[in-house]
Structure 1
Amino acid sequence: MDRRKFLGVGLAAFVAIVAPGTDLRAVDFRKTKPKAWEVEKTVDGIKALYGNGELKTSKKLSFKAPKLAENGGSIPITIKSSLDLESVALFQDANPRCLTCVFSVPEGAIIDYDFRIKLRQTAVVTVVGKERGTGNLYTASKEIDVSIGGCGG
């Protein structure tokens, strides 16, 4: 059996065994929560996406970003959590829309996300995670100083 056929059969077997018990469907937050994508302020964006729940801090939700970003066009962000979260969202007040991204988290997944964002100016960046089952909201924030704006500035 050649390598490609072997890998194809292996992948098909994996999907047949694991997929039926795992819900890997992502929520389309642009359709389910369209107002959250229209607001300008983080406080309003969190309310539009998650409601009026109390925001708690926890060492089990960590957020890393540089204190100073020389280029706002590509700012590295790392989010990690050992909490059982159903979604994680990132907000900022520098750009015209505060909600930057939302991740649907499959049950039992490990949250260790690395990605990049754009900021046109210095801003506070806030991460909010919604706990599966309880609906508790956890948050972490950090101000990022931007030297050169990433949105045409």
Structure 2
Amino acid sequence: MNRYLSVLVLLLIPFILSAENTIDTIKSKQKNDVVSVKMRLNSPMIEEDFISNITASVGGTNVFDFLASPFVRRKPTIKFKFKNLTKKDTFDVVLTHNTGKQEQQNFTIHKSRKMSKIHTSKIETKLDNNAVWKASTVDSAIKELYGVSNIKTKIIKEQICRFYSSIPIHIKSDTYYKSISIFQDANPRSAVAIFNIPKNQIIDYEIFIEMKKDGIITSVFENKDGELFKELQPVVVSGTISHLSCHGNQLINDM
């Protein structure tokens, strides 16, 4: 009986350890000087408890800076890439919670895409509230962030159909932008995420967000000269009458 109990404890250890860390799993791979990262966060992403900021750095140089709202998907998976021009084989991730608590974690950069060992230290900090996250319309959120709301539309993308809790956002660009911001008009507050992009870094990000009803995702791009452009992405979600008209039964779950 004791032998079976010991085996059960050993099987539960990975789940116990993952529950203690906000980063549930993280995988990294470096090819040439480009590091690809995929991490899953153990966060409910609700107003009372969510990750509001994620930064990554190599040798003290910032390579990723992401600001989030509770409308990013529960237990989110986030993918990003960065240039590692140093010879260092580790990178640091700092997670800031909406409560102000911070976690600093160090990870190994692998040559193959495998799980990194988690080393965690916790520090306390104070987080200021920002009016951007409180804005109830897309235009007002954009104005709070950039000072203007009248922005030239770059492109209107084709409508996509998804489950409300799993709407994919994939941002990739060969053109450098200082910041890229995500907004939507289906939830009570419009701002979803902000990428502050370090110089000479790769723009290739992937997140999933939640929308409670049909709406439009607005992405705002700020170039190096401060000029603003936006893209519009119509979205139809499950549970609405209009999703039945989606072409080719596009309604899929991107879990």
Q: Deviations over 1:20-47 (max 9, x none)?
A: 6x44474869967711100111011111
Q: If each structure's helix is expressed as a fraction of its own residues, which one has the higher value?
A: 1
Q: Give 3-state SS (helix, strand or coil) of 2:238's partner.
A: strand
Q: Normalized against structure 2, the TM-score is what? A: 0.43
Tell me the CA shift for residue 54 of structure 1: 5.0
1:65–1:77 CA contact under 8 A, matched in 2: no
How many residue pairs get aligned? The number is 126
Instruction: Determine whether 1:75 maps to 2:170.
Output: no
Aligned twin of 1:42? 138
Cα separation, partners in 2 of 1:76 and 1:53, compared to 1, 3 Å? closer
Bigger Rg, structure 1 or 2: 2
1:64–1:78 CA contact under 8 A, matched in 2: no
Q: Give 3-state SS (helix, strand or coil) of 2:131's partner.
A: helix
Q: If each structure's strand is expressed as a fraction of its own residues, which one has the higher value?
A: 2
Cα separation, partners in 2 of 1:66 and 1:115, compared to 1, 3 Å? farther
Tell me the CA shift for residue 66 of structure 1: 6.1
Tell me the CA shift for residue 52 of structure 1: 1.2
Q: CA RMSD in A?
A: 2.9
Instruction: Determine whether 1:140 maps to 2:221.
Output: no
> Where does structure 1 lack aligned partners over 5 or more consecutive residues?
1-17
Q: Normalized against structure 1, the TM-score is what? A: 0.69
1:53–1:137 CA contact under 8 A, matched in 2: no
1:88–1:104 CA contact under 8 A, matched in 2: yes
Tell me the CA shift for residue 87 of structure 1: 1.2
> Where does structure 2 lack aligned partners over 5 or more consecutive residues?
1-57, 69-97, 99-126, 241-255
**Counterpart of 1:67 in structure 2: which amino acid?**
I
1:64–1:79 CA contact under 8 A, matched in 2: no
Q: Distance in 2 between matches of 1:77 and 1:25?
A: 17
Tell me the CA shift for residue 50 of structure 1: 0.9
Aligned twin of 1:89? 181
